[in-house]
Amino acid sequence: MIIRSAEFTISAVRLEQCPANGEPEIAFVGRSNVGKSSLLNKLLNRRNLARISGQPGKTQTLNFYHINNTFYLVDLPGYGYARVSKELRAKWGPMVEEYLMRRNSLIQVVQLIDVRHPPTRDDQQMFEWLHYHGRTPLVVATKADKIARGMYAKHTQQIRVNLGMQSSQLPVILTSADTGYGIQEVWDTLARKLKE
């Protein structure tokens, strides 16, 4: 994918605030701190377009980035982070759910899993929930640079088993936002989806 332009469009907290031009969008979900914002920056080859933090809970709104004036990438708040206030969790849960369930222009959800650890209950629930709502996610494992190359296959297989991924045709793409590993494969897959 050649990125000719990447512009921040809006931070939305309700469906009505999302862009209304009907262009397709791809959203990134995953636990807090899994590396959603980092992956987005790496895909776009920008250092600081999406805000990144060592502290989980950094992204708290639906953040839209307009790419090549033709589609959007959407950075979502992470799930499974207990330390954000109850009030906030009560708000973003329904917000993200409503977005994932009802957004018509959403053509692909990318679910991120930290490759170092087996998927958590939250990850499993999100994966099942997405399936149930007809949003088969593209599974992307993050932080490949944190494990040895010799462990790639084992950890990727672990993710498949723990998520109960049925079809061996569905990929788990391993990536690193640090080294760029796997980024091309993610783009190839998303570009195919955008062409459908």
Residues at the contact surface with ligand GTP, assessed by CB under 6 A: 30, 32-38, 52-54, 56-59, 77-78, 142-143, 145-146, 176-178
Closest C-alpha among 75, 76, 70 to residue 22: 70
Residue nearer to ligand GTP on the CB measure, 4 or 178 = 178
Q: Least CB distance from residue 119 to ligand GTP, whole Å?
A: 15
Interacting residues with Mg ion between 143 and 172 (CB under 5 A)? none
Cβ neighbors of 118 (< 8 A, separation 6 or more) are 158, 159, 162
Q: Least CB distance from residue 43 to Mg ion, whole Å?
A: 14
Q: For residue 102, give both structure tokens.
A: 């009802």
Question: Distance (Å, rounded) from C-alpha 51 to C-alpha 41?
Answer: 9
Q: Residue 150 burial by CB count (10 A; 0-12/13-18/19+): exposed, middle or buried?
A: exposed
176 touches 152 (CB < 8 A): no
Three-class secondary structure of residue 17 per DSSP: helix
Q: Residue 149 burial by CB count (10 A; 0-12/13-18/19+): exposed, middle or buried?
A: exposed
Q: Which of 37, 111, 156, 175 binds Mg ion (CB under 5 A)?
A: 37
Residue nearer to ligand GTP on the CB measure, 57 or 108 = 57
56 binds, among ligand GTP, Mg ion, none (CB under 5 to 8 A by kind): ligand GTP
Residue nearer to ligand GTP on the CB measure, 67 or 112 = 112
Tracing tokens 């907290």 back to the chain, one arrives at 13
Residue nearer to ligand GTP on the CB measure, 86 or 195 = 86
Question: Distance (Å, rounded) from C-alpha 141 to C-alpha 174?
Answer: 5
Examine residue 59 and tell whether it contacts Mg ion (CB under 5 A). Answer: yes
34 binds, among Mg ion, ligand GTP, none (CB under 5 to 8 A by kind): ligand GTP
174 touches 147 (CB < 8 A): no
Examine residue 33 and tell whether it contacts Mg ion (CB under 5 A). Answer: no
Q: Least CB distance from residue 38 to Mg ion, whole Å?
A: 8
Interface positions with Mg ion (CB under 5 A): 36-37, 58-59
